[in-house]
Every structure is written in structure tokens, then in C-alpha cells.
Amino acid sequence: MREDLHIAIVGATGAVGVEMIKTLERRNFPASQLVPLASARSAGKTLPFRGENVAVQELTRDSFAGVDIALFSAGGGTSAEFAPVAVEAGAVVVDNSSAFRMDDSVPLVVPEINAAAVGKNNGIIANPNCSTIVTVMALNPLHQAFGVKRIFASTYQAVSGSGAMGIVELERQVGEIAANQEATREVYPHQIAFNVLPHVDVFLDDGYTKEEMKMVHESRKIMDLPEFKASVTCVRVPVYRAHSIAVSAEFEKQVSVEEARKAIITAPGIDLNDDIASNGYPLPLDLTGKDNCQVGRIRKDCAFDNGLSFWVAGDQLLKGAALNTVQIAEEVAKL
């Protein structure tokens, strides 16, 4: 692995950007210099890194001189404008937005599944959508064992998926309701506290949302399965952090619960938590702050001849975003 890398974080003051910096430090990433970048209004703030307070700089077209790897988490518009600038300056970009995910020339990577794709980059590597990552962490080991054909899935997505303001909104509404006040709304179209919203991202003409179709298209690319099919309903729930997904999957080969559990146990980055006799199954509250995802409630699916149903959960800000991005950067450092 290369040492003494010059790292930039675009969107450093956002929820994911802060987690990226913490993750770089926690995993002892070989960064000799860290440059946090954000909008002009955040310039001058400081962020802790390895015992020092590092000043945030304004993102400009001159921000990437000498940068080896630039981690982006500032939205698709910012990525579309500044990622090519960073590449032109000599950096490899790992982008957490949707701007480049479906570009055929850009690898879409979950390192536990397709780390080799990192070596095929032309300067930009895309980080998948958070709910897609958590889902394929459980689905891919089962695919390797049985050959997945299609899934039906419902997500239970934490407000952290909307950024820091989603968390603020849930906290505020809980306080307002506890004080017998009307819940005020800024982030979501309806009250999120004590409610669930079957609405994540914008609606498309066919009635699905962009978030739902991301799981279809991104899973195909990550697992290299162009014929893979998925019908997904994405739901926002009043959980601060960590996404959960209920999946029913149909496979090419005959399935067994025992073999499915063995496939999960031997897979990296995913833990088995499947002991219903002791009420053991993945909970978003327990997964908050944890690197690994968990899968449980594994059972034969009643509607498919070769089907399994399961429940998978993972920290949206870590494996769903910051951790996966840093893991990709670790693969870049090996090149």
C-alpha cells in the first residue's frame, strides 16, 4: 500500500464527510495530509483529525493541487463539476453521489464484492447508494451459493440518509410532539416522527422512485448480473441511523437455510444474527456505529420454489457511505 498520501474530503462538514474523516483516522489510513473542503460558508471551521484541528478550506477549482485521492460527498452537482477537475489535477476521485454510478467507464464498487474493479478506473470510482450496499452485502454471498434471479424488497431507511438535517428534523419533531406542539416540517413532505413515509427520493413516471430504481441498476452493475430483476419499495422510518431491508429472493439453484447461513458466515463484512429462539435478529439501533452489516430471519420463501427471505441491516453513514468510500480508497492505495 502506498504511504504518505495527500487526501482531500469534499463535503467535509456534512454528516458523511465527518464520518469519512473519523474512518480514515480509525483505520489508520496512510494520509500524510488531509484537506477538508466545503462551501464558502463552512470555510475556516476546524475538524479534528489525529489530535489536531484541521481548517476547512473553500472548494475551488484550485483545491486539488498535489492531491492523490479525493473523497467526494457533497451532492451530484458538485461531483459533476469538480470531480473532473480533481482528476485533471492528478487525483483519483471516490465519489459518494449518484453522478457517475451508471457511467460505463466508472467502476461501481463494494470492495467485499468487486474490489478488482478499482484497478479499471479512469480517475473516478463510484460509491453505490446506501440501501444498495447494505442489500448486496447479504445478497451477494447468497448469489454466489445459489445464483440470484430476482428479488422483491422493502427498505426501512433511517433519516441519516437525508443528511444531518434529517436527523435534526426527527429530533425536533419528537420534542415538539412531546410538548404538545405541532410538528414542523422542512426536510420531509410529511411528519416523520412516529410515522413512516413510502417515499425516498423523487417519483418517476412509472410510479417508482429514483431510490428504488437505483437498487435495480446498481445491483446489476456491482454483481455483474445484467439480467437481475428487482421490485423495490423504499420507506423512510423514524430511526436516526442504520438502514434495514426485507428481501425475498428467487435463485437458480435449490436453496437451503443451512447452506445460506454457511454462505453468510464465510463472507467478509456481514455477520449472521439469526437466533429467533432468543429474539436474535439485526436491529438498526444495535448496528449504529458498527462497520459490519448483519443478516437474520433467514427462511425459505413461501412464494418461490427456490426462494429465501431475509432481513439485513447496516449503518447508513458507515458501510452505506463513509466506510465503503474509505475501503475503496484503501484499494486505490494498493495500486
169, 192 Cβ separation under 8 angstroms: yes
Q: Provide the total of helices (H) and of strands (E) in the chain, helices listed first.
A: 9, 14
Residue among 78, 73, 43 nearest 57 (CA)? 43
CA distance 317 to 157: 11
- How far apart CA 134 and CA 313 sit, in angstroms, is 6
Per annotation, catalytic residue among 6, 143, 234, 243: 243
* DSSP codes of every residue in 10-33: ETTTSHHHHHHHHHHHHTT--EEE
Distance CA(151)–CA(246), nearest Å, equals: 10
> What is the C-alpha separation between 208 and 201, in angstroms, rounded?
10
Catalytic-labelled residue, pool 6, 130, 143, 234: 130
234 a catalytic residue: no
Q: Which three cell numbers stand for residue 94?
A: 471516490
**Active-site residue flag, 143:** no
User: Which residues are annotated as catalytic?
Assistant: 130, 243
